[in-house]
A and B are shown apart, each in its own frame.
Chain A
């Protein structure tokens, strides 16, 4: 299957700083990537849909000015948590859709390994 990577795998930062998380599709081009957040012992919640060359679409309740998404190329999307606070500490997971994949259907998504963000 297709491979999606994330960097960094974990990050610790001070309150008020900004943190950038990268999501890369390694062996396919992804016109669409997705960013999820997962709090401890909870399931994944979609934050936003990242579209190459256009603005991201944010889910209700997600602050677009706080979580900046850039999808500048077909293999890279970045999520920047601006002015991070302790309540932003979470596990952030990205996924990418391979438009050429037909085995699982048009909407099969491939997930990255996640980034653990801890804001002190």
Chain B
């Protein structure tokens, strides 16, 4: 059974710092991995999707990497801004591919 964990659960950094969020999954046979952002009381915003054949994806100040063999993914945020404050979720497909299994999330606060 696929399980997804995220470390740390919460993170507070001063504005301008670079930071790394970690995601681990137990079953390395994944089709892809997706990172989402969720603002309080809001739905999900898809940030990056990495296919199993890729090692990383970049979008602006965000860079996501994937190491299937070790069951890990990282989300790197460069030059953090207060507007980056949100909960970040990683997700992988379940065994049936239709289902998506979410990690518990990392709550990020960027202090001005």
Contacts and interface: CB of A to CB of B under 8 A. Distances in A.
Nearest to A42: B104
Interface string B59-93: 00000000000000000000000000000010001
Nearest to A91: B41
Interface residues of A, number: 26
Contacts of B51: 104-105
Contact of A111 (B43, B49, B105): B43
Contact of B103 (A43, A93, A107, A111): A43
Contact count band on B: 20 to 34
A107 B97 CA distance: 6
Contact of A114 (B42, B93, B101): B42
Interface of B is mostly: strand
A105 to B, nearest CB: 5
A106 interface: yes
Given A105-B51, A116-B41, A49 B99 contact: yes
B43 A93 contact: yes
A95 interface: yes
B100 A107 contact: yes
Contact of A107 (B42, B98, B104): B98
A79 to B, nearest CB: 15
Contacts of B41: 91, 114, 116
Interface in A64-120: 91, 93, 95, 97, 104-114, 116
Contacts of A1: 46
Most buried by A among B36, B43, B51, B93: B43
A97 B42 CA distance: 20
Nearest to A41: B107
B43 A106 contact: no
Contact of B32 (A32, A34, A45, A108): A108
A34 to B, nearest CB: 7
B50 to A, nearest CB: 9
A26 interface: no
Nearest to A4: B43
Interface in B20-63: 31-32, 34, 36, 41-44, 46, 49, 51
